[in-house]
Amino acid sequence: MAKINGKEITEAAGGPLSRYLDEKGYKRTYIAVEVNGGILPKTEYDSYIINDEDVIEIVNFVGGG
Amino acid sequence: MTNSEFINALIRRHGKDIYDRLISSKVAVAGLGGLGSNVALALARAGVGEMFLVDFDTVDITNLNRQQYDISDIGKAKTTALAKKIRSVNPIVRIRHKKIRVTEKNAVELFRGYELVCECFDKAENKAMLINTLLTSDIGSVVVSASGMAGCGTGNTIQSRKINDRFYICGDMVSGIEEGMALMAPRVGICAMHQANTALRLLLGEKEI
């Protein structure tokens, strides 16, 4: 089962990352996505298919500094 | 005060080992607002040898509530105003600065050669842009970022986290200006000091939080 932001997500594996991001309402311009230890380029969000063993961290930035 | 008096004082406070490691280190600070002005000053006080300060903006009256500028800085470039402030507390730090807007196109070449980059922007999209651009490039820099420090809720939710060997992030991850909360000196300062402390630990070889 893929692990996303520390939680095991049953329905995510097998589908494209972009679908998961859209379903959860993430705005592409505000996020960085780490897959198994490296940042995934934004250009690969559509083509990347989530694997069963993936450990994914979606960092959703908020404004302020 | 002479430079050698200053150096001896740093060595007395921190010890020769820490002094030597910090004086030979280089840190870039991207964005010189509430986070960046505080991060840069703290690292300069600690004795970092070289700093690269980057911001496109000038000091505005609305910056005084949380940024390390004073009334006489209003209207000046943040880069030169902060460089002056840093020199007033550390006479030996080498400072490079550039008044420029950081973009996807120029980020990699701007920060090439810096082992450590502190992401101190204020807009969420600029934060994400810098992380995505630097960490999918070949430059190898470690980035200490920040997200979530608005308002005056408890300071105890602001934390430092390690995402991976090249990506650390400080903040509570949720308190953004999008929620209508103001940015205020204490909480922005707490977050900036988390960033500075994480940066310091990395420069001293401690890779875990």
ipTM confidence score: 0.96
H, E, C per residue of B19-87: HHHHHCCEEEEECCCHHHHHHHHHHHHHCCCEEEEECCCECCHHHCCCCCCCHHHCCCEHHHHHHHHHH
pLDDT exceeds cutoff 90 at B4: yes
Tell me, what DSSP letter sits at residue B15?
A: -
Question: Does some domain include residue B172?
Answer: yes
A2-60 homologous superfamily? Beta-grasp domain (3.10.20.30)
Sequence spans of domains, chain A: 2-60
How many domains does chain B divide into?
Answer: 1
Q: What is the pTM of this model?
A: 0.97
Per-residue pLDDT reduced to its tens digit, B46-105 = 999 999 999 999 999 999 999 999 999 999 999 999 999 999 999 999 999 999 999 999
Give the separation between CA B121 and CA B130, rounded to whole angstroms.
9
Question: Does some domain include residue B208?
Answer: no
CATH number, position B18: 3.40.50.720
Per-residue pLDDT reduced to its tens digit, B118-132 = 999 999 999 999 999
Could A62 and B173 be called an inter-chain contact, meaning their C-beta atoms sit closer than 8 Å?
A: yes
Question: Does some domain include residue B164?
Answer: yes
Question: Does some domain include residue B114?
Answer: yes
Residue of A3, A33, A39 to mutate when probing chain B, most B C-beta within 10 A = A39
Chain B residues lying within 8 Å of A65, measured CB to CB: 31, 33-36, 120-123, 127, 146, 149, 183, 188
Domain ranges, residue B136: 3-203
Question: How many C-beta atoms lie closer than 10 Å to residue B88's C-beta?
Answer: 10
Per-residue pLDDT reduced to its tens digit, B132-190 = 999 999 999 999 999 999 999 999 999 999 999 999 999 999 999 998 999 999 999 99
Give the separation between CA B195 and CA B127, rounded to whole angstroms.
14
